[in-house]
Structure 1
Amino acid sequence: MSELSKSRLKLWVRMLGVTRAAEADLREFLRLRHDTTLPRFDVLAALYRRREGCTMSELSRMLLVSNGNATAVVDRLEKDGHVRRTPSPTDRRTVFVALTPEGLAGFEGLAAEHEEEIDRIFGDLSREEIETLTNVFKRIGVKR
């Protein structure tokens, strides 16, 4: 292994550490301040971006999770009145899911506090550092 290869490996470990620490902070924030979970937040955010709603399969693909995982989260959100399911009029196997007005309003407040929490987590970074990291991550991409 070259020295550069070892440096890349250390970078990977550092990136994982930062990601895991930030995610742990967010999970704790959502649990303590909002009595919710990161998967619930992710589903609400995806449906917020798709205001017209989407199929359960589309939602699973957007979130990169199994249909079963998405269904379990949507079940709880529906029970709490945040989302509604609507059967497709043309295909009984297809179900559309969308935010309810209550879900939309609740998510907007949650999203604002989520942004504040992200700002706190990365608050030590200057604008220039953020731009540099953003550009580096864009350049890296994921090569398959």
Structure 2
Amino acid sequence: MSMSSAETAYAMSTKTKLRLWLRLLKVTRSVENDIREKLRVEFDSTLPRFDVLAALYQFPKGLRMSELSGLLKVSNGNVTGIVDRLVKDGLIIRTPVPGDRRALRVRLTKRGEEEFALQAAAHEQWIDDLLSDVSMNEAENMISSFDRILVEMHGTKSEEA
């Protein structure tokens, strides 16, 4: 039994979307691996450290550890190890939360702000270089498409960088 033209078009559309998904994964992993390597080589750092610094940079008054792990969508245990090393390196400090003896707030030190600013500028340039063949119009169209997908899935757009 042969497929109708509508069934054939649907099957082709489905396969094309699957190819798109696989290509998105491949590109994302390639870009992430490149960024990880550049952070390691140029800053002797890691992507998780960069992510913690970036999150804290957005909140100058700091975040409770639970807020930080929620924002980064990782466990408290994962964040604690990274925070311990960043405190040791003098990039962030822990302070008690008034009225809650168990809670700690973490925030960037001046040195942490300066270090993150250097890393963020380099990161932005790396992304620009990696995506240099993508025009501004293409990038805007992709962002719109991905935002539509996110709204459909979760009822909200992506968080802007």
Q: How does 1:1-144 map to 2 (within 5 A)?
A: 2-141=11-150, 143=153
- Give the counterpart letter for 1:143 in structure 2: M
CA positional deviation for 1:89: 2.3
- Give the counterpart letter for 1:47 in structure 2: L
- Give the superposed CA RMSD: 1.2
The more displaced of 131-140 and 46-55 is: 131-140
CA positional deviation for 1:2: 2.2
Figure out how many residues of one structure are paired with residues of the other and give that number. Answer: 144
CA positional deviation for 1:77: 0.3
Q: Which of the pair has the greater relative contact order for Cα pairs under 8 Å at 6+ separation?
A: 1
CA positional deviation for 1:13: 0.4
Identity %: 51
Unmatched segments (≥5 aa) in structure 2 = 1-9, 155-161
CA positional deviation for 1:94: 0.5
**Aligned equivalents of 1:91 and 1:140: distance in 2?**
40
Q: Using structure 1 for the length normalisation, give the TM-score.
A: 0.96
**Aligned equivalents of 2:31 and 2:132: distance in 1?**
12
Q: Using structure 2 for the length normalisation, give the TM-score.
A: 0.86
Unmatched segments (≥5 aa) in structure 1 = none
**Aligned equivalents of 2:118 and 2:105: distance in 1?**
24
